[in-house]
A and B are shown apart, each in its own frame.
Chain A
């Protein structure tokens, strides 16, 4: 057996994802002749480097333009009509680099700018508030070869849009306050406090944080690790972006507190590639914390506790938000979810005990360490303590970040953000629940509507089939391809839905789609596949008429247009008479 166990990339051996980003940046693609030398430098198999390149959306085998623009295709922060407009202005085809190599344009999954869209990424920078006018200016800047750094700075302004504050956003936390309180007690007592607070994972699954820390602390290993999941990829979610930009101290404090609790000396912040623009800011906060002795060798003067945090940046793969896929990605591999059990708390990063927590969870943990369990538990419901940050977007007056105690009704939230004609709300993003108007009295809490924080609102004028089609395309694009139900099932669901949307679907197609949807949901390997069919199933259950009115009134319709398929033959035989066509 000559397969090496994965090793931690150290300071003298950079991370594969970072190296590939560097190559992509330098050559605008990953040149074939760079792969073997890179594999040698990193002491990885060539096939591993190849497979990573082909897994992540942001790495390409053919050169992208000097200006590479990726338009979000999210229902909240995307506008593909604008993308087509810019393609026309610059005479470029989507996905194909212009022959002079200057520019390439494509679409990408939600980039987390849902409260200030439409938005795009240009060479790792984010531009929001797109308009036809702004696109004309951008086209001029590109044709004039103006470096992106010299484009008007107001293009790159990203707002925080905090509309309602609660426990976390309202309560000040002096730098080091959480850590000082944590280090004043035994780690067992600290874990007890976190358990007492009732804090549950904010990524959506809602596992009790204190228990996770306890299991990890108790697990045997040569090292323990803290990993912050900042791969905020659920369409419609952007609350972690605000915590990363405005509350990074609290986040790193939470990671350090977790490190103390479980006995770890190394933490990783896994940041989604779309948020790469935040790296300089985050690095400066880390440097500041080192100076303040809140990170590094002798934290707060205590010789026996040291902790470091490293930032690893993803490269366009929603699946890496799944914790075990994230760990695979951290280990310089494709982001394919692991078989569980064993769980990361016992066999995580490098097979060692690892705590993987969401950004918001760690911020909350830092506050709880400082303020105590009762402070947190005073808000929320019996099974959902504390508050939740919601990312609200879509058809409402004031999109942005809203913090509420758990247990708030959806209607209350909709009233606050001015969603006066909401017909449907996607709670928890595409992997969550499509809620119809009749159910707006439901509450946001683990007991009822669990949510990682994405609230996408659709008014009466919206075509819900188009929305669900968008989500279904998203999942087919993001499936990692490990298991049969998801790898084959998500593209099949896309085919059925496209057929129905195009007016070629029959009642039989709808029944087959529903049967397949249930199989994908029940039999897939991980959370992606298990939720990918939710939008279709919710649509059929709560809005059956949306699908019904598109159906053909016949028993069977093939998936392809036979007459159109004959077009090549007609051209080759120079025929276009009536008999060369099917009736």
Chain B
């Protein structure tokens, strides 16, 4: 192999460097290339479940956030076909839960919603599931509204890997998946979740929301009113590079 290519891969024709042990996502974010994602946050163990970061390597489907980068790899990312797949996945996440953006305090700050705009989603398209899921308002500072949960497990990993706790877990099977709380009563109020936990603030949708501070930032000045999801996620990746493995 050409030594110049020994530690580079190609994403949509752009040659970028990588270091041993990086995933395609790591390398892309470091090079300022946006690969849409929902369940991934730099610094947390990759999950690979939302599949928004689906890319093709010579026609083969892989998740960019979990797949190791290797020399000479040819990755297709920002293609009309893949973005159509991603739009469909976002629609699937919308119909699976109860996502009523105008009534949700997360509107404008919600990554699911922002990806809907980013990918040109105009409707939910599929028949809605209208799941019946429990709301937990037992905690003094946070509310857990499972209707909006997308099973990304960011709260699970943030609690375990950064907060040094074990507040959340995913339970159930298939369409009955739901987030649960690791306390004897199963209630958030009986857990050791506190204000300074990353797990309390990492939810990309409106499933875990702070109490007593509704609409503090007016609509029109929220994250995705001012930035695209690509700008926002690339900025986050550059800010947070340390790992929290121990």
Contact = CB atoms under 8 A, between A and B. Distances in A.
A47 interface: yes
From A47, A48, A339, name the one whose CB has the most chain B CB atoms within 10 angstroms: A47
A489 interface: yes
Contacts of A25: none
Interface string B43-64: 0001011111010000001010
A476 interface: yes
B61 A1 contact: no
B160 A1 contact: yes
Nearest to B94: A488
B173 A480 contact: yes
B144 to A, nearest CB: 13
B127 interface: yes
B142 to A, nearest CB: 17
A492 B85 contact: no
Given A488-B93, A491-B174, A46 B183 contact: yes
A116 to B, nearest CB: 29
Nearest to B157: A3
Contacts of A479: 173-175
A519 interface: yes
A54 interface: yes
A519 B88 contact: yes
B238 interface: no
Contacts of B117: none
B180 A484 contact: no
B151 interface: yes
A166 interface: no
Contact of B174 (A478, A484, A515): A478
Contacts of A560: 127
B161 A1 contact: yes
Contacts, number: 124
B92 A51 contact: no
Given A487-B96, A491-B174, A47 B180 contact: yes
A343 interface: no
B51 A476 contact: no
Query: What is the size category of the interface that chain B forms with chain A?
Result: 35 or more
B151 A339 contact: no
Given A480-B174, A484-B89, A484-B93, A50 B61 contact: no
B165 interface: yes
A158 interface: no
Interface string B83-105: 00100110011011000000000
B169 A50 contact: yes
B81 to A, nearest CB: 11
A46 B184 contact: yes
A339 B96 contact: no
Interface string B140-184: 000000000001000000001100111011111111110011111
A483 B51 contact: yes
A342 B18 CA distance: 19
Contacts of A515: 88
B169 A45 contact: yes
B246 interface: yes
Given A485-B89, A525-B48, A525-B63, 11 more contacts: A2-B165, A46-B184, A51-B170, A51-B171, A54-B172, A478-B174, A481-B172, A482-B151, A483-B49, A483-B51, A488-B93
11 contacts: A47-B166, A47-B182, A54-B171, A481-B175, A483-B48, A485-B92, A488-B175, A495-B127, A522-B61, A523-B54, A524-B51
